[in-house]
Amino acid sequence: MSRRFISLIESGNLREAYALTTQDDLSGSTLDAFETKTKNRIDQIVFTARPPIQWVGERGGFQTYGNRLRRWLAGRKLDPDLLSLEFTVGGPFEVRLVSFGDGKWKISYFQTHAA
């Protein structure tokens, strides 16, 4: 989902990218607000050379099998509610996802940033 989100932004298809978000104040509560946040948070220069999108790793939300087992034994939700994924698209690109109770994930925050 994150890779698709970045590809949609790269291609200029902001309407479809917006559909993958939480559609709140953090990601943009309207399509216009989302477009503004996209322009402010993403250095559009990274997309000019059309570099490949590469997954780097997680920046939080990781859990060991032991933590998963402890959650299961305690009767708690097994998966974390928030994941922060790191990509490179000509530069570092962070995408945060939030989990909803029905097992679906939505993009809650995104940005290019310094290395």
Residues 5 and 15: beta-carbon distance below 8 Å: no
The answer to whether 86 and 113 have CB atoms below 8 angstroms apart is no
Please determine, for residue 2, whether its predicted confidence score (pLDDT) is greater than 70.
yes
> Which pLDDT score, from 0 to 100, does residue 99 have?
85
Between 18 and 81, where is the model more confident? 18
> What pTM was estimated for this model as a whole?
0.75
pLDDT > 90? residue 29: yes
Q: What mean pLDDT, rounded, does the chain reach?
A: 84
SS3 state at 54: strand
**Separation of alpha carbons 28 and 35, rounded Å:** 8
Domains of the chain: 2-112 (3.10.450)
Cβ–Cβ under 8 Å, residues 41 and 29: no
Q: Is the dihedral of CA 85, 87, 92, 96 positive or negative?
A: negative
* Residue 110 DSSP SS3: strand
Give, in degrees to the nearest 5, the angle at Cα 105 between 103 and 109.
155
pLDDT digits (tens, 9 = 90+) for 32-79: 999 999 988 887 766 676 767 777 766 665 567 787 788 788 887 666
What confidence tier does 88 reach under pLDDT thresholds 50, 70, 90?
Answer: confident
